[in-house]
Amino acid sequence: MPVLEPLIELGRGLWTTFRSMFERPVTYQYPEQKRPVRPRYRGRHVLKRYENGLERCIGCALCAAACPADAIFVEASENTDEERYSPGERYASTYEINYLRCIFCGFCEDACPTEAIVLEDDYELSFTDRRSAIYPKEMLLEPVGPEAEPTPQRTPPGLYTRAVPEMEDPKD
Ligand code: SF4
Ligand code: SF4
């Protein structure tokens, strides 16, 4: 009957609304509540350290060479045993990533011989000017662990001659 039809549709709509009142909400109350990211999510980069606090980055700039967006700038300096930042001869005295250029492709991570640069799960990247989109080494370097020493370290002569450690092949 044409008169009943709109009422049936109205009732159906109200029933849908009523039913959804008892369902679990799918919204997250960001920023108080943060949604967990997928295991292979590529967020902001972190420059990693070894367990003893030495920096993994050896300033080789392979990441910068691999970057299709020209987003990375690396400048290397010499390590000494009195002032050591990383194993081997050199460390990154300047390391910058321009997040206005980065496309989060992960090529830098793949190119790194020491697994120093890793795209982790931080997605909270917002800037108010162009300069603050360039993250310097101090912002990218991970904090020193509780058992570790900060860099630069004073190390015994001849102990850290090898820049690239023995590593297993990546699993994925
Ligand atoms: S994720 Fe890609 S675009 Fe971003 S810095 Fe690394 S290589 Fe460059
Ligand atoms: S992050 Fe890796 S590839 Fe880039 S300069 Fe450092 S060691 Fe080399």
pLDDT at residue 171 tops 80: no
The CB of 86 under 6 Å from ligand 2? The reply is no
18 within domain boundaries: no
pLDDT (tens digit per residue) in 83-102 = 999 999 999 999 999 999 99
Q: Which of 31, 45, 37 is nearest to 134 (CA)?
A: 45
pLDDT of residue 169: 73
Does residue 166 form part of some domain? no
For ligand 1, say whether the CB of 105 is within 6 Å of any of its atoms.
yes
Domain count for the chain, please give it: 1
**Segment 104-130 mean pLDDT:** 95
Query: Has residue 15 been placed in a domain?
Result: no
Residue 17 lies in a domain: no
Q: Which of 44, 46, 70, 72 to mutate to test the pocket of ligand 1 (most atoms within 8 A of CB)?
A: 72
Q: How far apart are CA 167 and CA 48, in angstroms?
A: 15
Question: Domain range holding 43?
Answer: 37-140
Protein residue with least CA distance to atom 6, ligand 2: 57
Residue 60 CB–ligand 2 contact under 6 Å: yes
Which residue has its alpha carbon closest to ligand 1 atom 4?
A: 102
In whole angstroms, how far apart are CA 159 and each of 14, 63, 122?
74, 26, 35
Query: What tokens appear for 93 in the block?
Result: 């005295």
Q: Is the pLDDT of residue 172 over 80?
A: no
Is 2 part of any domain? no
Residue from 46, 54, 60, 141 whose mutation best tests the ligand 2 pocket (most atoms within 8 A of CB): 60
Domain assignment present for residue 29? The answer is no
Question: In the predicted model, is pLDDT for residue 63 greater than 90?
Answer: yes
Please report whether residue 84 resides in a domain. Answer: yes
pLDDT digits (tens, 9 = 90+) for 102-114: 999 999 999 999 9
- As a whole number, the mean pLDDT across the chain is 93
How many Cβ atoms from other residues are within 10 Å of residue 131's Cβ? 7
CATH of the domain at 130: 3.30.70.3270
Instruction: Decide if 47 is inside a domain.
Output: yes
What is the band of 166 on the pLDDT scale with cuts at 50, 70, 90?
confident
Distances in whole angstroms, Cα of residue 97 to Cα of each of 30, 45, 46: 26, 9, 11
Q: What is the DSSP string of 7-71?
A: HHHHHHHHHHHHHHTTSPP----TTTS-PPPPTT---SEEE-B-TTS-BS-----HHHHH-TT--
Tell me the per-residue pLDDT of 2-61, one tens digit each, with 9 for 90 and over.
778 999 999 999 999 999 999 988 889 999 999 899 999 999 999 999 999 999 999 999
Between CA 129 and CA 141, with CA 109 as vertex, the angle to 5 degrees is 55
